[in-house]
Amino acid sequence: WYVPLNYGGFDFEIPAGCIVEKNSKIVARYPDGSFGLSMENEAIPANQKIAFEKARSYATRYKLTDPKVEKKKIGGVAGAMAVGKLENFTVTVLILPVDDQQVTTVLMTTPGREDWTRHLIESMKH
């Protein structure tokens, strides 16, 4: 069961039961700590190449184990995605450039909750 949200020009769905804080950025977390989301919108011009480099730098900054960084089209926007492990979490970073803005999304899930991340990404529409 999922609940619709929108931020930074994107509509998407998060797991029902998440606690959501929305101000200049959006933070959502499931009460048991098995799922977390942070989305931030920066007013900087970007493109897919810049998004890819930023995704790579996030993977390094978070010290992700076995990171996979790739250019990816999400919700009709050409951006980039980094996925790796941090302790027992799977961390997914999405960098999506839109007009003269960049939406950065960081998702953290425990094993068995990866389908929640997959659903959120698949539900993203710009």
Condensed to tens digits (0 to 9), the pLDDT of residues 19-73 reads 999 999 999 999 999 999 999 999 988 899 999 999 999 999 999 999 999 999 9
pLDDT at res. 124: 97
Residue type, 73: K
Distance CA 2, CA 45 (A): 32
Which residues fall within 8 angstroms of residue 113, CB to CB, at 6 or more apart? 30, 34, 35
How far, in Å, CA of 7 to CA of 15, rounded? 16
The single-letter DSSP state of residue 24 is S
